[in-house]
Amino acid sequence: MSDRLSGNEAVAYALKQINPDVMGAFPITPSTEIPEYFAQAVADGEVNTEYVTVESEHSSMSVCIAAQAAGARAVCATSSAGLALMYELLYVAASCRLPITLACVNRALTGPININNDHSDSMGARDSGWIQIYAENNQEAYDNFLMAMPIGETPSVRLPVMTCMDGFITSHAVENIELLDTDVVRRFIGEYNPENYLLKKENPLAVGPYDVSPYYMEHKVLEAEAMKAAKARILEVAAEFERISGRRYGLFEEYRMEDAELALVLIGSTAGTAKAAVDKLREEGVKAGLVKIRVFRPFPGEEVARALAGTKAVAVMDKSEGFSANGGPLFAETRSALYDLKNRPYLIDIVYGLGGRDVKTEDIEKVFGRLANIAATGEIGPVYTHMGQRSKEENA
Binding site for other proteins (CB under 8 A): 95-98, 158, 196, 203-209, 211, 214-215, 217-219, 221-223, 226
**Nearest residue (CB) to other proteins, 69 versus 375:** 69
Distance from C-alpha of 382 to C-alpha of 283, rounded to nearest angstrom? 29
CA torsion angle 200 204 208 209 (round to 10) = 180
Q: How far is the CB of 95 from other proteins (least distance, A)?
A: 6
Q: Report yes or no: 289 and 237 within 8 Å, Cβ to Cβ.
A: no
Asked if 9 contacts 141 with a C-beta cutoff of 8 angstroms, the reply is: no
User: Which amino acid makes up residue 226?
Assistant: A
Q: How far apart are CA 103 and CA 316, in angstroms?
A: 25
Closest CA relative to residue 385, chosen from 308, 328, 305? 328
Smallest separation (angstroms) from other proteins to the CB of 222: 6
Kindly tell me which of 110 and 216 has the beta carbon lying closer to other proteins: 216
Task: Indicate the residue among 159 and 286 with the shorter CB distance to other proteins.
Answer: 159
Q: How far is the CB of 149 from other proteins (least distance, A)?
A: 17
**Minimum CB distance to other proteins, residue 80 (Å):** 28
∠173-176-177 over CA atoms, to 5°?
Answer: 105
In the complex, least distance from residue 225 CB atom to other proteins, rounded to whole angstroms: 8
If we measure between CA atoms, which residue out of 139, 162, 168, 373 comes closest to residue 261? Answer: 373
Q: Given the complex with other proteins, which of 112 and 209 has the nearer CB atom?
A: 209
For other proteins, which is the closer residue by CB, 173 or 198?
Answer: 198
Please state the closest distance from residue 33 (CB atom) to other proteins, in A: 33
By CB atoms closer than 10 A (0-12, 13-18, 19+), residue 380 is: middle
Residue 198 three-state SS: coil
Between helix 182-189 and helix 7-18 the angle, nearest 10°, is 70
Q: How far is the CB of 85 from other proteins (least distance, A)?
A: 23
Q: Integer distance in angstroms from the first to the last C-alpha of the chain?
A: 45
Helical H segments across 74-158, by residue range: 80-85, 87-95, 120-124, 138-152
Cβ closer to other proteins: 193 or 203? Answer: 203
Strand 175-178 to strand 2-5: parallel, antiparallel, or no bridges (unpaired)?
antiparallel
Residue among 221 and 376 whose Cβ is closer to other proteins = 221
Name the residue nearer to other proteins (CB basis): 95 or 138: 95
Which CB, 202 or 258, lies closer to other proteins? Answer: 202
Opening angle at CA 79, ends 76 and 82, nearest 5: 80
Please, which residue, 54 or 207, has the CB nearer to other proteins?
207
Q: How far is the CB of 231 from other proteins (least distance, A)?
A: 18
Contact 257, 275 (CB under 8 A): no
Contacting residues for 253 by C-beta, under 8 A, at least 6 apart = 136, 271, 290, 291, 292, 294
